[in-house]
Amino acid sequence: MSKLEQYLQQIVPRQLVYALIPAMMGVLMLGASFLPWLKDPLAETYTAWNVPLDMSWQFRNGLCNYGLLCVVCAALAFFVAYRQWNVQKKGLTP
């Protein structure tokens, strides 16, 4: 085991990592929903909320977009982090 691994294990307990990784992924997904996704040279810059999700039948509406998809995935990641946090708080191992 390297010195870096030993140092990280002293700072962050191994059980806490099971809750931190999904929480970090949720933050990244929320950030991705607001960052620019598409830069059109002749028009504007589009965020995930402006890029529609194309269904296989070419069904388009303003509600189904990549911003909503990112938020739903972030909510799922936060739910996993919350569940793992509760497991660690009760003293159970995953």
Handedness of CA 73, 74, 75, 78 (dihedral sign): positive
**Cβ atoms of residues 92 and 34 within 8 Å:** no
* Coil/strand/helix, residue 6: helix
Domain boundaries, the chain: 19-90
Q: Give the pLDDT score at 59.
A: 67
Q: Position 16: which residue type?
A: L
What is the percent of the chain with per-residue pLDDT over 70, rounded to a whole number? 83
Tell me the pLDDT tens digit for each residue of 32-51: 998 888 888 888 888 888 88
pLDDT at 3 over 70: yes
Instruction: Output DSSP code: residue 44.
Output: -
CB contact set of 47 (below 8 Å; sequence gap of 6+):
33, 34, 35, 36, 37, 67
